[in-house]
Structure 1
Amino acid sequence: MTYDPASSNPLAGNPLQNRTDMRRALIDLFYPLLPYFSKGNARVRIDAAGAHFDRAAADLEGFARPLWGLAPYGAGGGDFAHWGRYAEGIANGVDPGHPEYWGTVNGRDQRMVELAALGFALALVPEKIWEPLDSKARGNLIAYLKHARTFDYADNNWKFFRVLVDIALDRLGAEFDRSLTEDYLRELDGFYIADGWYRDGNVRRVDHYIPFAMHFYGLIYSKLVDDDRAKRYRERAMLFAKDFRHWFAPDGATIPFGRSLTYRFACAGFWSALAFADVEALPWGEIKGLCLRHLRWWTGKPIAHRDGTLPIGYGYPNLLMSENYNSAGSPYWAFKAFLPLALPETHPFWTAEEKPLVTEPAIVPLKHPGMVMMHGKADVVALSSGQENLQMRFGSEKYAKFAYSARYGFSVESDERAFAGGAFDSMLAFSDDGVHYRVRETNEEAKLAGDTLYAKWSPWPDVTVETWLIPAAPWHIRLHKIITPRPLQTAEGGFAIARRDFEADTLSSQKNAAYAVGEADFSGIVDLDSTVPRDGLTQKAPPNTNLIVAKTLVPQLRGTIPTGETILVSAVLAEHDPATVSGAWTKPPAKPDLDALRALIAEKGVTVSAIDVPGRPA
């Protein structure tokens, strides 16, 4: 090969074991952006990809988001040669008479999001980007920030954006209505569930926005403001850490789940924020390990263009999985991972010996997101009751699959008319015409009883599905009770694994079972005596549908169900070991008893917090 995609990754070759390594990582990630700064330094435009907001806001996004890492770097004494560029860019960006003016906020606006990074930097390193400004620029900046905060922010983590701007205004000595700050802080408290968990607004989902937004901003607040609320943010973060550590695999990978995954290593932002706020929620060696291992996981992935900039995507460049609010600058929210650079080298985060991941107990039920975490030697799998996102593209794939894996990620579908060719990894798809299909989009009920999950859902209004998910490590079992007024075709998938060139993988499709053996992984699904026969199929999934690798294989079971009641039961297995085909694959778990599962949910089932939104019907 003349080109190794991973070699363009600015993190490639960085051991990421200490403060020096992390400093180097930040600078190596930032410097490829320099050619894309505008003449007046107020805008950064990497490419022509668009988002739903205007181009000026997208350019501000590219300018502001690196500040989440640069500000801590500057606060920690890092040598950054381009603070003058940022000071000039701010002066020009808030000057209505300058060609690179960022534009006036006139309602709920993406600029509100990016001003939070600016507010954070102004509060943390005013000597870098405030003190160099002349009186005109200072006046324009204060006026710009005060004007933006007069509008209503989205009823979710956005409310923290105005809080961060207000902290900056307070530190800069500006006069403003502080009652608005208190109003938003009180409303943010209304999103708190219990046990360290929030919801991101009045929605039926609990995703990475809880750690890398709600807790992240709360911990920054707790560092910059000393009040009773700051203490509560710390206490909640300590509770949350005990659950969130189970979203990580031994190699540092995290469970890709939900929207905005193009922010990549922002998923380490919670651990970074604990360090920044001096909150020892876990032993410092564990926090350090969770943070740095996650950064190291990205070092070998082809996550950058040849010039070193970060494109939209997750494990590789991929616009298909993006949100309509992802612009070319969006991935730089990943710089949230660099908060520890504000800490001196004597801080216990840096001096502690890195500790390995705690993977005991191996099975961990989490009531609030509706998940049962299964720790393995090289992976962690989240069995999921299913959540809801009806607004985002591929909301079903991002929130409503049966299982999510740190190693195998998940796939989005690329053609709503391709039932025959869909990936359907960790999903059950139905079709009444063999062309179009339906999958789970939301739940009528979702419950957890011990380590068993239950959900009731409807792919069509006249079709009802009840699903039970049971861990049987290293397997998991799925049981579906389906009632339909007409025959339906079905497809149920296991996990997607990497597919090699030259048809080098081993594929097996037979009655009631299918598996694939790749270069490094095994994935299989087997029927456990369903009431109808199903055929195995190893699907060569459409390219660029999986988040982590561009080409995948997905073992599936396919069959037609009749009018009336059908019971489908399967066991699913995927492991980072091709030899699994002659090991665990030969010993599938037993079929569970449906009556016993019903009784368990009836007696001990508790409603999953993620779908139990106050004031909203199920």
Structure 2
Amino acid sequence: MSGPRPPLPFALPAEDRAVSPYTGWTRAHWEAVADGLLGAAWRWSTPGGALLDLPGRPSRSGVRSDGLEGYARTFLAAAFRVAGARGADPRGWLERYARGLAAGTRTPGREDAESWPPVLGHDALGQPMVESASVALGLRLTAPWLWDRLDADVRDRAEAWLRGALRHVPAPNNWYLFPYTVAGFLESVGRGDAETAAARRRAAELLEGWYRGEGWYSDGDGRAFDHYNSWALHLYPLLDAHLGGDEVAGRRYGERLRRHLEGFAAMFGADGAPPHFGRSLTYRFAAVSAVGLGAVTGWTPLTPGASRRLAGGSLRHFLERGALTGDGLLSGGWHGPHEPTLQSYSGPASPYWASKAFVALLAPAGHPLWTDREEPAPVEEGDRVLALPVPGLLVHSTCGDGIVRVHNHGSDHVRPHEGESAAGDDPHYGRLAYSTRTGPTAPGNVADNHLGVEVDGRPGVRRRIRPLGAGHGDGWGWAASWHRPVFATGPPMVPGLRVESVTVARGPYELRVHRVTGAPPGTRVTHTGWATGPDEPLVSALHPLYNWPGGPEPVRAPAGTAFTRWAEVPRLTGESEGVSLHVCLAVLAAAAGPVPPGPSAVAEVTADPEHGRGVTVRWADGPRTRVRFAPVRVTQEHA
């Protein structure tokens, strides 16, 4: 949000604008932030140090599991901090975690003790399985200074607790990497066996099935492409290979990370923010885990200076925009606390998966990641449009205001076995576009960036998204998808009703073309633009170009977004019957700069003579964009 930025509750070194002209931050800043976050969290530890009972709304797994989460996720930050310093631990973090490990594994099942809940399957509210991976990775990173110095019985108890992850069924997604990580640790300390080998083989095989190409994994079966690529699906297997010296696996997973970063690095705004897109967004700057891991392992297309610019910019972005409470804890939300950003599994310590960003500290002080001069982020190198066909995303950035928009024509959170009406509107996946400066509106409010089809007064939502292609040229790009609107009341589907959508990004403009087929008489069609409000100096405009009888009306979203207390969304309204085309132009721009003109950017819109087959848009500066359906083809011709 705009306005005065709260001071950080812990001290930082002086900025170094010579080596870090963009952020001012150096490796010493990262160490200071890690120490500050750890110091604040440990004020909430139980006497034995096994649980960090942070204040806040309990998760569905219960307060004991939440306390374990506090221990495990902060342990990651401490482990990266100490391992990157080659065992130097001036704050004595590892002594605390060693003490907590002994207490947590001492008396299983004792409610009056600090014992950790057992690791069970995901059907049993199995959050401890998630945390077992953080405990195991922390132990592996710090083995010479923590594990090797533990009493034998503590090591045995810790192994017994961790093995629960190998003996229960994970959730059918990135969770399979948690027993994989546990097994990797046990094998690294000479405790591997057939059980650990099976857990690793199973996860590796599943990961191959989830890899879709071009550096992108789906989070399980289906088409869930989001930040889990950075903070889980790339992180665990490549870091495991790196720590274990496995060159074959390192090359396989490293090449995928390198390819992933070619597109993912372009998604960060000039202010350091990633797009507000997908689930678990309370992990915040964990989104730069892939950037740091690429620099540490060498599997990256980015220069060291650009990597530090991206990673440091994201870390600083959140810390300076209210992510910390007054006593230095990471709150549940985006900038400050924000309930709609959270999931049912989110607890008070969930935000500390942000600790994964500190993987960058595994690069020692003399590494080029820290010594090379910062270089601009991709968004600062000029306007760009980048198509990512595999996930069905179109990355669209404008250098002048530093905003990055991600047009979504391929990512959802629906698994193949789920029914179409298994859930209603999903703001974090179902919208047409997301950005680094705006968030989706909350359920119950008007949906932003949405083509709505209303039949018999029942509004349909975009749920299962099927890509139809994506591509880019010099200064422009496109992506397309189709879906069947899902209705929360009455029959979930209207037979034959289908929406095909195309986004064409060019300069600051978003040309949005929709083809509705199978619409019964009386069908109402609406289209909304970006949600903006008083806390972000932005302008959202939506201009009708074809088959919208009137101009846009502002619609209030009282619950606001993660960026603003309340929001307003421009909306167009029209009608559809049988087959219809609807074309509009959306703009999101910084209010402080020149606002791009609206309809004057387009000189002419011509519908295809064959009803519903497509349109041609002639831009005021000359080029023509042709959009054709059945099948979808998008071309641009220069005057």
- Aligned CA RMSD, in angstroms, stands at 2.7
2:103 corresponds, among 77, 92, 108, to: 92
Gaps of 5+ in 2: 16-23, 416-421, 487-492, 608-613, 617-625, 635-639
2:77 corresponds, among 69, 79, 101, to: 69
1:316–1:550 CA contact under 8 A, matched in 2: no
Deviates more, 1:6-15 or 1:317-326: 6-15
Answer yes or no: is 1:336 the counterpart of 2:356. yes
2:566 corresponds, among 530, 536, 551, to: 551
Answer yes or no: is 1:59 the counterpart of 2:74. no
Q: Cα deviations across residues 464-500 of structure 1 (Å, max 9, x unaligned)?
A: 2222211132110112222421324443221122315
1:482 corresponds, among 516, 521, 531, to: 516
Give the equivalent residue in structure 2 for 1:412: 442
Partners of 1:20 and 1:452 in 2: CA distance: 42
Deviation at 1:160, TM superposition (A): 1.9
Task: Say which SS state the counterpart of residue 253 (structure 1) adopts.
Answer: coil
Amino acid at match of 1:423: V
- Give runs of aligned pairs for residues 319-468 of structure 1, distance below 5 A: 319-358=339-378, 359=381, 362-377=384-399, 378-390=402-414, 396-413=426-443, 415=444, 422-432=445-455, 437-444=459-466, 446-450=468-472, 451-460=477-486, 461-462=493-494, 463-468=497-502
Task: Say which SS state the counterpart of residue 487 (structure 1) adopts.
Answer: strand
Partners of 2:456 and 2:322 in 1: CA distance: 39
TM-score normalised by length of structure 2: 0.83
Amino acid at match of 1:537: E
Partners of 1:73 and 1:271 in 2: CA distance: 17
Q: Cα deviations across residues 189-247 of structure 1 (Å, max 9, x unaligned)?
A: 22222222221211222111112211111221121122311221112111211111111
Q: How many residues are matched?
A: 574
- Give runs of aligned pairs for residues 53-452 of structure 1, distance below 5 A: 53-75=61-83, 76=85, 77-96=88-107, 99-108=113-122, 109-177=126-194, 178-180=196-198, 181-227=200-246, 228-358=248-378, 359=381, 362-377=384-399, 378-390=402-414, 396-413=426-443, 415=444, 422-432=445-455, 437-444=459-466, 446-450=468-472, 451-452=477-478
Give the equivalent residue in structure 2 for 1:44: 52
Deviation at 1:562, TM superposition (A): 4.9
1:219–1:274 CA contact under 8 A, matched in 2: no
Answer yes or no: is 1:585 the counterpart of 2:598. yes
Partners of 2:175 and 2:11 in 1: CA distance: 30
Aligned-residue sequence identity (percent) comes to: 25
Answer yes or no: is 1:472 the counterpart of 2:494. no
1:429–1:491 CA contact under 8 A, matched in 2: yes
Partners of 1:562 and 1:121 in 2: CA distance: 57
Q: Cα deviations across residues 54-87 of structure 1 (Å, max 9, x unaligned)?
A: 3322211111101222101111134223322211
Tell me: CA distance 1:534–1:441, structure 2 relative to 1, closer, same or farther (3 Å): farther
2:210–2:218 CA contact under 8 A, matched in 1: yes
2:77–2:355 CA contact under 8 A, matched in 1: yes
2:267–2:274 CA contact under 8 A, matched in 1: yes
Greater RCO structure (CA 8 Å; 6+ sep): 1
Partners of 1:240 and 1:265 in 2: CA distance: 17
Amino acid at match of 2:440: F
Partners of 1:398 and 1:190 in 2: CA distance: 24
1:571–1:588 CA contact under 8 A, matched in 2: no
Deviation at 1:578, TM superposition (A): 4.2
2:544 corresponds, among 527, 538, 541, to: 527
Q: Cα deviations across residues 399-451 of structure 1 (Å, max 9, x unaligned)?
A: 121111112233232x2xxxxxx3321112344566x6322112355332543
Amino acid at match of 2:386: V
Deviation at 1:42, TM superposition (A): 0.9
Tell me: CA distance 1:493–1:112, structure 2 relative to 1, closer, same or farther (3 Å): same
Deviation at 1:527, TM superposition (A): 0.6
Task: Say which SS state the counterpart of residue 462 (structure 2) adopts.
Answer: coil
Q: Cα deviations across residues 135-172 of structure 1 (Å, max 9, x unaligned)?
A: 32222111112233122323322222122212221232
Partners of 1:331 and 1:159 in 2: CA distance: 21
Amino acid at match of 1:486: P
Answer yes or no: is 1:18 the counterpart of 2:18. no
Gaps of 5+ in 1: 416-421, 501-518, 606-618
Deviation at 1:535, TM superposition (A): 4.2
Amino acid at match of 2:590: H
Partners of 2:191 and 2:354 in 1: CA distance: 30
Deviates more, 1:105-114 or 1:439-448: 439-448
In terms of fraction of residues, the more strand-rich structure is 2
Q: Cα deviations across residues 371-400 of structure 1 (Å, max 9, x unaligned)?
A: 121120211111221432248987632112
Tell me: CA distance 1:106–1:163, structure 2 relative to 1, closer, same or farther (3 Å): closer
